[in-house]
Amino acid sequence: MSLLFTPAKIGSLEIPNRIIRSATAELMADDLDGKPGEQLKSLWVNLVKGGTGLIISGHLYIHPSGKCHPEMTGIYSDDLIQPLKECVDAVHNAGGKIAAQINHGGMQCDKKAVDGTIAPSTIDDDFLEQPAREITIDEIEMLIDAYAQAARRVKEAGFDAVQIHAAHGYLINQFISPYTNQRTDKWGGDLQGRTRFLREVTRSVREQVGPDYPVFMKFGMEDGKDGGLTAETGAKMISMMAEMGLDGIEISGGVEANSVQKGIRNASKEAYFRPLVQLVRRKTGLPLIIVGGMRSKAVMEEVLTSGDADFIAMCRPLIKEPNLPNLMKAGTQETSACISSSNCWSEILGEGISCKCPPL
């Protein structure tokens, strides 16, 4: 029996197999208010029908100042609970499970989405669309509450879990990273200071959703940038996470790390964050999710059997082939047909994500 198709848990949430759809911004919400509709509902239901064990929604913005790009789905207001609930109900009616990823973009919000961004410290850099100003202490406190209120809405909308986004250079990641956080007050400085925002967000989320609701994190373990977070320090942060009240960790990269790598065409390029996962396996007893270039059933099985990770997460392969898990289970397909060129985004309003790569 393949380990890939056995159940396992993240906190109190039982997932029927080990295949997770990693958070994928769907670009399917009303650009004005972030409300999702039928397009998102059918994308999620298709993933359930294709055999994904747990869907993680695309990142949902917790506050208008943290909207990362046009057509991002929102979770910043109680008005969004009902439209989200309709999508979640459709997933449940189809027999699926779904978590919501909550996020604030901080310095990394497109100009089209937010005019004037915030970051732990003032920053301007080539990889940013616009310079960011230093966030005030009042704003920090307001946003910690905004994450908690977002998590409450996630639970009220019926999602099975909440994932806090602390990777890919967004606000929480910016606080953790010594490259983007040069504060000298209690929100910066040493490991305790730089993890304070992450710890406070986690504490306030947990307080809102209660002790039994599954809360997990996508964590950018290293920045891939001079003066940024190193894997060794990232691993130290991970060893603190069970105590923070988290139920699981998805390991990814941080500020400017190449978290969406291209050209994964053979097994040797797959599982590109495996070294990071291996580094933390013995530092935490929490379930670990590996993401990044997972493409073939053989590599997935090997990663699970070795004990390096407990779940396999995929993004681009499930845009191309939402039914990949079922095909792998049936033994009719061994590898994703995704060529990892990242042509999934769309600049055209209303189009949403889709695979635009030529067939192999």
Nearer to ligand FMN, 152 or 168 (CB): 168
Q: Closest approach of Cβ 25 to ligand FMN, in Å?
A: 4
Q: Where are the beta strands (DSSP E) in the chain?
A: 8-10, 13-15, 19-21, 54-56, 60-61, 98-103, 117-119, 132-134, 161-166, 215-220, 249-252, 288-291, 311-314
Among 4, 10, 25, 161, the residue binding ligand FMN under the rule CB under 6 A is: 25
Report how far residue 243's alpha carbon sits from residue 38's, in angstroms, rounded to the nearest whole number.
39
Q: Closest approach of Cβ 170 to ligand FMN, in Å?
A: 8
Options 77-85, 89-97, 131-139, 290-298: segment touching ligand FMN (CB under 6 A): 290-298
Report how far residue 24's alpha carbon sits from residue 274's, in angstroms, rounded to the nearest whole number.
20
Q: Closest approach of Cβ 39 to ligand FMN, in Å?
A: 15
Distances (CA, A) of 199 to 121, 164, 203, 281, 355: 19, 11, 6, 21, 37
Options 5-13, 174-182, 236-244, 313-321: segment touching ligand FMN (CB under 6 A): 313-321
From the list 109, 108, 106, the residue with the least C-alpha distance to 120 is 106
101 part of the interface to ligand FMN, by CB under 6 A: yes
Among 259, 286, 296, 355, the residue binding ligand FMN under the rule CB under 6 A is: 259
Tell me, yes or no, if 76 is annotated catalytic.
no
Nearer to ligand FMN, 25 or 84 (CB): 25
Report how far residue 192's alpha carbon sits from residue 316's, in angstroms, rounded to the nearest whole number.
35
Residues facing 252 on adjacent strands: 220
User: Cα–Cα–Cα angle for 9, 12, 15, nearest 5°?
Assistant: 35
Q: Closest approach of Cβ 34 to ligand FMN, in Å?
A: 13
From the list 265, 279, 277, the residue with the least C-alpha distance to 317 is 265
Binding to ligand FMN (CB under 6 A) within 53-92 occurs at 58-59
104 part of the interface to ligand FMN, by CB under 6 A: no
Residues facing 329 on adjacent strands: none
Nearer to ligand FMN, 90 or 314 (CB): 314
Q: Closest approach of Cβ 128 to ligand FMN, in Å?
A: 18
Looking at the annotation, which residues are catalytic? 170
Applying CB under 6 A, which residues contact ligand FMN? 22-25, 58-59, 101, 165, 167-168, 218, 252, 259-260, 291-294, 314-317, 342, 344-345, 353
